[in-house]
Structure 1
Amino acid sequence: MPRRSRVDPVAIASVGLFGVAAVADLTALGLSSSTISRRVQAGHVRRVLRGVVKEGRDEPTADQRAAAALLYAGPSSVISGGEALRRHGLTDPSPDGRILVLVDEQRQRTSSAFVEIERTERLPRAMTVDGLDLAPLDRAVIDTVRREDQLDVVRGVLTEVVQKGRTTVARLTAELAAGSQRGTALPRRVLREELGVGVHSVAEAWALAVHADSELPPVLWNPRLYDPVTGTYIAEPDAYFPDVGLAWEIDSRRHHFLLPDWDKTLRRRARMQAYGLVVAHTRPSRLRSDRAAVIEELWGSYRLAASRPCPDLLVVAASGTPQST
C-alpha cells in the first residue's frame, strides 16, 4: 500500500468512526508518526486522547468522545455507565462526567482525561448502537448507580428504567448481585425496599418514607383497581389503603402542568370517587418540607374513609396478584 503523506479525513474515515481514529491504525495505513505529530502541531488534526486523534481542530463532539474512549481502551472494550444509558434512550444522571469503559481484567489500561477504565472479569457482550459498542442495559444501569452517592439520583435511574418497562426489578437485582459489591448499598436498598414494593418514582419513594413514619395501616403502591362485576378498569392510584378504600395521589407538577394532564387527573379522581373511594392529594415537595402536616392530613383522609363503607373492588397489586376488598 502506498504511503500517505498527510492525515486527512479520508485516511481517518477509513480506519475510524465519527472522524476519530487510533494513531496505531493510521500508521498501519502507511502514515508516519512524525507526519501525524506535525499535523497535530499545525492544528489540522487534534489529539483527543493518548494515541487517538480526530480531524480538525474543533472540540470533539459527544459521538467523537465516545468513539475515542473505545479506541483508547482497545479491542473488545464496551461503554457502560451514564453514557451507555443515554445511548439506550434513558437519562444520564451525570452528563458532563467521565465516560465509563469496561475492559477485560487482563488488559493493562488506565483511566485518562474523560475516560474511566474499569477492568472486569465479567466483560459483557457488546450491543452495537450507532456504531458504538455498549454494555447491555441492565449492566449499564447497575454500573451507573454503583457510582452515585445520592439516594435520589439512584432512585431516579432505577425508577426510570423500570417505569418505562425497559427491564424488571428481578433482572436488576440479579445484575447487582452478580457484579462488584462496591457501591451497592443504595441501589440494593432502592430495589428491595422501594421498587420491590411497587414504588414507581422518586416522589413515591418520599411518600413511602412518610407512610413509614405515619403509623398508618399497610398500603399498596400503584395497584390497579377494577369493577369486580364488569371488570371495568377504574384507576391506578399512587397508593391505596385497601382496608378503608383510600386512594393517595402524589400530584407531581411535571405531570399536571399541562391542561390535558390535569384534565386526565381530574377524570381519574372522578372515576375513583364514583366508586366510593376517598381520594387524598399531596404535592411531592410537601413530602419533604411539611411531613408532619402531610401525615396529619393523611390520617384525616383515612378516618373519613373509615367512616364510610369500604368499596367492593378488584385490586391487582403491582406484583400482579389480585385481591378483593
Structure 2
Amino acid sequence: MHPTNRTLIDLDALACLFRHGVATVTELLHLGLSSALLHLRCSHGGPWQNLLPGILLLSGSPPTRAQRVQAALRYAGPNTLLTGLDALHLHGIRTVPATGPVHVLIPHRRQVEAPPQLRVTRTRDMPNPVLRNDFLTVPPARAALDAALHLAPPAQRAVLAETIRAGTDPTELHPRGSPALKAALSDLPPGPTEAIAMAGLPTPRWHISLRTPDDRPLGTADAWWNTLGLAWQFRTPPRPDHLAAAGIVVLRTTPNQPPASTAAQLRRAAAHATTRPRPDVILG
C-alpha cells in the first residue's frame, strides 16, 4: 500500500492556503485530493462550492465580491486585468455599485469562454497594470469606459463625471466606436486637470496618503505636489486638519467650482508653499 499525502491535509483549514479561499481544481489535485472528493465537497450542502468552471471557493458561505473577483482573475488566466465597476471601486470611484458580472480584460490572442458571472473583453493594447488592494487592475480611465459601455445613460454620466473629478484627465477618455459615450462625455464638466493646467503647475500625484516619519497617519491628498508639500483636496470629506498641523499647505475646493477660480487658488497655494521648507512627511 502506497501512502499519499491526502490523510495529512486538514480540509477545513485548506482555505488559508489560497487567497480569498479561492483555488483551482488543478491546484487541489496537485495537493493530492481526488476528483471524487472535490465533487463530494462541492455537492449540494457541501462545505465548498463552484464559482466558475474549474474554480472553487473553499467555503460554504455566500461568496463576497472580492472572492468573485479573485475567481474571475484565476479563471481568465495570466496577464488578466480587472476592469469595469470592480476596478473603479478599487480606485475609490464608487458612484455605481459593483454588481453583475465581473469584467476582465485579456490579451487579444487568448480565447476565454465567459459564463454568465463573467464579462470578458479582449484587446490588442493591454494597458499597464495598476495594483489596487492586491488586484491587478486597468487604470481608472479604461475602467470607466469599460463600465460605462454596459450602463444606462444616467449611470454612464455619473461614472464618467466621478472619474474625472477623481483626477483622470478627460483627454484620456477615448470612447472608441460609441456615440452614446461621446455624447455623455461632451456634457460633463471639466475635471481637476484643467485647473492644474490653467494654474501652470506640473502633474501631481493622485490620492496620496500622508504620514509622519513615526508612521502616524495625517490624511489623504486628492492631489499632491511632493516638492512643494502642497495638498489639494477636492473630493476627500473634511476631517480634523492634521495635514495643516504638520506644516502642509492644504487647498480645499468644491467639485463644481469653475476651473479658472480653482486655478487661481492653486497658484496662490503653490506660491505660499514655496515660502517655507517642505514639511517632514512621508507618503504611503
Q: Report the TM-score, using the length of structure 2 for normalisation.
A: 0.61
Match of 1:28 in 2: 30
What is the distance in 1 between the residues matched to 2:27 and 2:94? 33
Quote the RMSD (CA, aligned, Å).
3.0
* Deviation for aligned residue 1:50: 0.9
Shift of 1:145: 1.4
1:280-321 Cα offsets, whole Å, 9 max, x none, are: xxxxxxxxxxxxxxxxxxxxxxxxxxxxxxxxxxx9647969
Shift in Å, 1:101: 1.0
CA 1:163–1:111: 2 relative to 1, 3 Å? same
Percentage of pairs with the same residue: 27
TM-score w.r.t. structure 1 length? Answer: 0.54
- Residue 29 of structure 1 deviates from its aligned partner by 2.4
Match of 1:83 among 83, 86, 103: 86
List runs of 5+ in structure 2 lacking aligned partners: 193-197, 199-257, 265-284
Measure how far apart 1:85 and its partner are: 0.7
Count of aligned pairs: 197
Aligned equivalents of 1:198, 1:49: Cα separation in 2: 41
Work out whether 1:189 is the aligned partner of 2:183. yes
Q: Residues 132-185 of structure 1, C-alpha deviation per residue, up to 9 Å, x if partnerless?
A: 22111111011111223x332221111112123x21111224xx3xxxx34x21
Q: Is the 8 A contact 2:81 2:136 kept in 1?
A: yes
Deviation of residue 9 (structure 1)? Answer: 5.0
Q: What is the alpha-carbon distance in structure 2 between the residues aligned to residue 153 and residue 85 of structure 1?
A: 13
Question: Are 1:20 and 1:54, in contact at CA under 8 Å, matched by a contact in 2?
Answer: yes
Is the contact made by 1:85 and 1:137 (CA closer than 8 Å) also made in structure 2? yes
Question: Counterpart in 2 of 1:167?
Answer: 168
Say whether residues 1:3 and 2:5 are aligned partners: yes
Flag the structure with higher helix content.
Answer: 1
Q: Deviations over 1:231-260 (max 9, x none)?
A: xxxxxxxxxxxxxxxxxxxxxxxxxxxxxx
**Separation of aligned partners in 2, 1:130 and 1:109:** 25
Deviations along 1:47-78, whole A, 9 cap, x unmatched?
11111111221211111111111111111111
Cα distance, 1:116 vs structure 2: 0.9
| Corresponding residue of 2:101 | 98
Contact 2:169/2:191, CA 8 A, preserved across alignment: no
Asked if structure 2 preserves the Cα contact closer than 8 Å seen for 1:162 and 1:168, the reply is yes
Which residue is 1:297 aligned to?
Answer: none
5+ residue gaps in structure 1? 201-223, 225-314
Deviation per CA, 1:71-90: give whole Å up to 9, x if none. 11111111100111111111
Question: Taking structure 1 as reference, are residues 126 and 8 closer, same or farther at Cα in structure 2, changes over 3 Å only?
Answer: farther
Partner of 1:60: 63
8 Å Cα contact 1:80/1:140 also seen in 2:
yes
2:21 to 16, 19, 22: 19
Cα distance in 1, alignment partners of residues 12 and 130 from structure 2 = 27
Q: Residues 9 and 104 of structure 1: is their aligned pair in 2 closer, same or farther, counting only changes over 3 Å?
A: farther
